[in-house]
Amino acid sequence: MNPDMERQARDGSDPKAFLNDLLAVVTLPAIWRGGDPSHVGRALADAILRILQPDFVYVRLEAVAGGTPAEIMRAGRTGPAERPVEGLGLLLAECLGPAPAAWPAQARMHFAGDEVTVVTFRLGWQGDGVLVAASQRAGFPTPGERLLLSVTANQAAMGLQEARTLSMQKGVAEELDRRVAQRTRELQRSKELLAETQRLSATGSFSWLPDKDEIAWSDETYRIFRIPQGTLVTMALVEQHVHPEDRASFRQHLQYVRSSSRDVEFDCRLQLPDASVRYLHVIARSRLGEDGEPDYTGAIQDITGRRLAEDALAKASSELAHVARITTLGVLAASIAHEVNQPLSGILTNASTCLRKLTCDPPDVRIATRAAERLLRDGTRAAEVIRRLRALFGKRETATELVDLNDAAREVLALSGAELQRHRVEVRTEFAELLPPVRGDRVQLQQVMLNLVRNACDAMKRVDDRPRRLLVKTQVPGDGNVHLSVCDAGEGFGTQAPERLFESFYTTKEDGMGIGLSVSRSIIEHHRGRMWAAANEGPGATFRFAVPVGMAAGQSARAETSLV
């Protein structure tokens, strides 16, 4: 296009040329569509330079690329070399003002030694930027040029808004992708951590829909059952792996779950293909699914190691208890001799009397018969003493039975009678009537009582300023346990804490081993009970243990007091 045609196009006197320029401006969005704001700014500057051929074009975009303004500058040609544009933004700020948004719509300024007319158009209503074009031509800008610049600025404003929106959407999409990737990694890590935790704790998880018999297992659950991962699991398959002796109980738990839709917790055994047996602890919690049907989520823990350890501990405790019983043998030697010597002396006396009366002439049958009856009585008494001693000091496996603590305490006091008399101990009992029995090992419980009675007796050895009283008492306080207490009037605990007395190998006796109370507490805890000690309000201390009731009591207990 020759200079006259260009001028006519710019001032609008050539409608065809003007429409071509206007069409070029209108089609600019096709050039910058999909680009970022900087791309829009560059396309805008290039288009203005190409259409209007000004001395320079300056585009400033605010808040681009993280808040940093972007400057795009283009210079027209006035000869063989381009006009310098370095520092154009600073020059405009110096001439027009420091705030681009406040630059005047038209002004005069010097550029590269020439005086030029500068026109400014704002890009968008939100201060997206400014468009500046300058020319030294007289009459710049013509009405046609101003219209072209205005339309171009509006097109650029819409392009910038679209570019910013796309840039924001892209940023949101990238952030979303980043967060999804992060959450995916965290989820994968959580799954790996859960799998590792389940493996270390031998605990698998499962979900179960009873109505549909749909079961989902974790990898560890498959491992516990020794079933290949991915195998379709049904309750029939699970039941096949339950130990035959536990299947009836397992079915009862399933029936309870299906009928009540409540939480369940139980133990059972597995019988694996290699005939080995594993012990499991199962716990399941119920919740209503979206369809209103019960949905169970639970855990299965392999407790075989713990169960074997408990059995080994029980056996070791039994062995230690036996050792503790043997250690009391020397202390009770006098009691044994006293208890056995009395019936033996009676047997000898009555036998001699019977023989003498039978050899009389005539034989005194009546007196001989009475002597023989006393002979049988003393023999039975001696046999009972020996039976009690054999039961107390014999080594045998734990036998669980219903035990009346009143009767058991009476036998212990009878066995300890000689030692108590030798130490001048006054024994008083307060046994609850209609005392419900407890379930446990009678001999072990008697061993605990005997140890408490012996300790009470030892605690009062050096007491001379008051009576040496010993109280053995049973109670049913209503907490589901039977309580037995041994209260003495001895020296008490002193400065040590009561709990220290139950520590293994801790003793306050010169000749003590420090295992009596420790073993006693272990025995009581093995019976699912507890044992503790407390100082009396007056002199002495009270040792007490509580074990669960073995069966319901028919009536409330009433205390009776008697002297032994």
Asked if residue 274 is part of any domain, the answer here is yes
Last residue of a domain, one of 281, 302, 323: 302
Token code pair at residue 491:
């020296």
**Beta carbons of 204 and 217 less than 8 angstroms apart:** yes
Q: Check whether residue 379 and residue 403 sit in a common domain.
A: no
Say whether 275 sits in a helix, a strand or coil.
Answer: coil
From CA 409, how far away is CA 412, in angstroms rounded? 5
- DSSP strand pairing (106-111 vs 481-488): unpaired
| Percent of all residues in the chain with a pLDDT value above 90, rounded to a whole number | 9
pLDDT in tens, 247-265: 998 888 888 888 887 888 8
Asked if residue 195 is part of any domain, the answer here is no
Q: Check whether residue 320 and residue 351 sit in a common domain.
A: yes
Residue 161 has what pLDDT?
76
How many residues in total does the chain contain? 564
Q: Residue range 423-427: average pLDDT? A: 89
The CATH number that applies at residue 547 is 3.30.565.10
Q: Check whether residue 387 and residue 411 sit in a common domain.
A: no
Residue 394 has what pLDDT?
54
pLDDT exceeds 90 at position 486: yes
Asked if residue 182 is part of any domain, the answer here is no
Which of the four pLDDT bands, split at 50, 70 and 90, describes residue 29? low
Residue 426 has what pLDDT?
92
**Beta carbons of 520 and 513 less than 8 angstroms apart:** no
Q: Check whether residue 413 and residue 524 sit in a common domain.
A: yes
Instruction: Identify each DSSP E strand in 476-555 by its residue range.
Output: 481-488, 530-535, 541-548
Q: Check whether residue 510 and residue 456 sit in a common domain.
A: yes
The DSSP output letter for 77 is B
Q: Check whether residue 348 and residue 254 sit in a common domain.
A: no
Which of the four pLDDT bands, split at 50, 70 and 90, describes residue 110? confident
Last residue of a domain, one of 302, 320, 339: 302
pLDDT exceeds 80 at position 54: yes
pLDDT exceeds 50 at position 555: no
pLDDT exceeds 70 at position 154: yes
Query: Residue 276 to residues 210, 225, 261, 303, 330: CA-CA distances in angstroms?
Result: 29, 11, 33, 14, 46
Token code pair at residue 307:
């169960």
From CA 273, how far away is CA 234, in angstroms rounded? 18
Residue 438 has what pLDDT?
94
- DSSP strand pairing (68-75 vs 469-475): unpaired
Q: Residue range 23-49: average pLDDT? A: 73
Q: Residue range 518-522: average pLDDT? A: 81
The CATH number that applies at residue 41 is 3.30.450.40
For the whole prediction, is pTM greater than 0.75?
Answer: no
Adjacent-strand bridge partners of 120: 132
pLDDT exceeds 80 at position 84: no
Residue 561 has what pLDDT?
37
Q: Check whether residue 285 and residue 341 sit in a common domain.
A: no
Residue 81 has what pLDDT?
47
Residue 543 has what pLDDT?
92
Domain of 158 in residue numbering reads as 3-170
From CA 160, how far away is CA 61, in angstroms rounded? 9
Residue 409 has what pLDDT?
92
Asked if residue 180 is part of any domain, the answer here is no
pLDDT exceeds 90 at position 436: yes
Residue 402 has what pLDDT?
92
Q: Check whether residue 498 and residue 544 sit in a common domain.
A: yes
Last residue of a domain, one of 302, 337, 358: 302
**Beta carbons of 45 and 152 less than 8 angstroms apart:** no
Could you give the residue ranges of the DSSP H alpha helices within 394-496?
405-415, 417-422, 442-459
pLDDT in tens, 157-179: 777 777 777 777 887 888 888 88
Q: Residue range 30-55: average pLDDT? A: 78
Tell how far CA 520 is from the center of its chain: 33
Asked if residue 193 is part of any domain, the answer here is no
Q: Check whether residue 35 and residue 147 sit in a common domain.
A: yes
Asked if residue 527 is part of any domain, the answer here is yes
- DSSP strand pairing (114-123 vs 426-432): unpaired
Count CB-CB contacts under 10 A for residue 268: 19
Q: Which residue has the higher pLDDT, 6 or 96?
A: 96
Token code pair at residue 129:
């930027």
pLDDT in tens, 193-233: 766 776 776 788 888 888 788 888 888 888 888 888 888 88
Q: Which residue has the higher pLDDT, 128 or 92?
A: 92
Q: Residue range 402-415: average pLDDT? A: 90
Q: Residue range 176-197: average pLDDT? A: 78
* Average per-residue pLDDT for the chain: 78
The CATH number that applies at residue 298 is 3.30.450.20
Q: Check whether residue 447 and residue 533 sit in a common domain.
A: yes
Q: Which residue has the higher pLDDT, 317 or 554?
A: 317
Q: Check whether residue 221 and residue 243 sit in a common domain.
A: yes
**Beta carbons of 73 and 41 less than 8 angstroms apart:** no
| 312 backbone dihedrals φ, ψ, rounded to 5° | -65, -40
Which of the four pLDDT bands, split at 50, 70 and 90, describes residue 557? very low
Asked if residue 27 is part of any domain, the answer here is yes
Instruction: Identify each DSSP E strand in 226-378 by its residue range.
Output: 264-271, 277-288, 294-302
The total number of structural domains that make up the chain: 4
From CA 488, how far away is CA 480, in angstroms rounded? 26
Asked if residue 78 is part of any domain, the answer here is yes
Instruction: Identify the CA nearest to 459 among candidates 379, 541, 363, 377.
Output: 541
Q: Check whether residue 384 and residue 434 sit in a common domain.
A: no
Residue 66 has what pLDDT?
55
